[in-house]
Amino acid sequence: MPPEATAAIRAPFGERLAAARSTRGSLCVGIDPHPGLLDAWGLEDSPAGLERFSLTVLEAVGPVAAALKPQVALYERHGARGLAVLETLLARAADAGVLTIADAKRGDIGSTMQAYAEAWLGEGRPLAADAVTLNPYLGFESLRPALDLAAATGRGVFVLALTSNPEGRSVQHVGGDASVARSIARAAAAENAGPGPGQVGLVIGATVGDAAQRLGLDLPSLNGPVLAPGVGAQGAGRRELEAAFGAALPFVLPTSSRAVLAAGPDTAALRAEAERTRDGLA
């Protein structure tokens, strides 16, 4: 039997994320080991530097963040040894009870999507995280293998709906009431039909202004988490989160990478910056 076919061994992702938020607060910290950050930390731009960086963030920030979100691209740029570091990080985080969201933005035709789903969500797979980000450009239903595997394994997915970058508008906002973003949000909500908090979340940037309301995204009916990147280095703070989400803010998990990471390598300073960011957004 392939590893991903084994029975779920953990509580559903929506419940685990809600529990982490209630004890550790509502901030997701991104782990984005950019070369400039490694240099500022006095580390080499190498797999060894990457490992030191990643494990320092886990130790410093893990206890005060709802989740950590490693940016997969920053590991891939180091090839197989970079991915080995990501494996180590994901395993250590799991051992420490810290939730991980692999920011991989995967999406492909269904047969290939099956392999992506197994890679990032499959039971016993070396890169399996608690959740993964998905790109629905090939159609929401193309993501079915990941949606089904997340439900079966107690893991989660975050589907891109309104991204934080200005270029996203040219695709996601088009069509007014019939926008791509709205159709993605509706399809995600349909996956979360059960009573508890669902495992299918959306990515909506903290920088999108009033786009979610203007395009008619019904976030309370999502019954799942909203991951909101764009806090800090991309300019968003508490005011922008309120403008973007209004009454739906309780469903939102703001996420910040570079602005928090710049406080390292000192673990106390790093933790203090994560706490300051988290508390400033609450």
Report the alpha-carbon distance of residue 74 to residue 49 in Å, rounded: 12
Q: Does 233 bind ligand LLZGTKA7 (CB under 6 A)?
A: yes
Cβ atoms of residues 273 and 261 within 8 Å: no
Give the chain's radius of gyration (CA, Å). 18
Q: Is 105 a catalytic residue?
A: yes
Cβ atoms of residues 198 and 14 within 8 Å: yes
The closest of 64, 58, 69, 71 to 21, measured between CA atoms, is: 64
Cα within 13 Å of Cα(182), Cβ side: 15
| Total residues interacting with ligand LLZGTKA7, rule: CB under 6 A | 16
Contact segment (CB under 6 A) with ligand LLZGTKA7 among 41-49, 134-142, 145-153, 231-239 equals 231-239
Report the alpha-carbon distance of residue 246 to residue 255 in Å, rounded: 17
Which of 197, 257, 263, 271 is the binder for ligand LLZGTKA7 (CB under 6 A)? 257
User: Minimum CB separation from ligand LLZGTKA7 for residue 156, in Å?
Assistant: 15
Report the alpha-carbon distance of residue 259 to residue 234 in Å, rounded: 9
Which of 12, 49, 198, 232 is the binder for ligand LLZGTKA7 (CB under 6 A)? 232
Residues 24, 105, 182, 271: which is the catalytic one? Answer: 105
For residues 166 to 205, the per-residue mask of contacts with ligand LLZGTKA7, x marking binding by CB under 6 A and - elsewhere, is -------------------------------------x-x
The closest of 101, 191, 110, 186 to 147, measured between CA atoms, is: 191
For residues 49 to 88, the per-residue mask of contacts with ligand LLZGTKA7, x marking binding by CB under 6 A and - elsewhere, is ----------------------x-----------------
Which of 4, 51, 103, 130 is the binder for ligand LLZGTKA7 (CB under 6 A)? 103
Cβ atoms of residues 150 and 183 within 8 Å: no
Residue with tokens 């309104």: 162
Of the pair 56, 164, the CB lying nearest ligand LLZGTKA7 is at 164
Q: Does 100 bind ligand LLZGTKA7 (CB under 6 A)?
A: no
Of the pair 91, 233, the CB lying nearest ligand LLZGTKA7 is at 233
Find the angle CA(75)-CA(76)-CA(78) to the nearest 5 degrees.
75
Report the alpha-carbon distance of residue 66 to residue 17 in Å, rounded: 7
Report the alpha-carbon distance of residue 161 to residue 269 in Å, rounded: 34
Which of 169, 173, 186, 258 is the binder for ligand LLZGTKA7 (CB under 6 A)? 258
Give me the residues that bind ligand LLZGTKA7 (CB under 6 A), please: 30, 32, 71, 103, 163-164, 203, 205, 229-230, 232-234, 256-258
* Residues marked as catalytic: 105
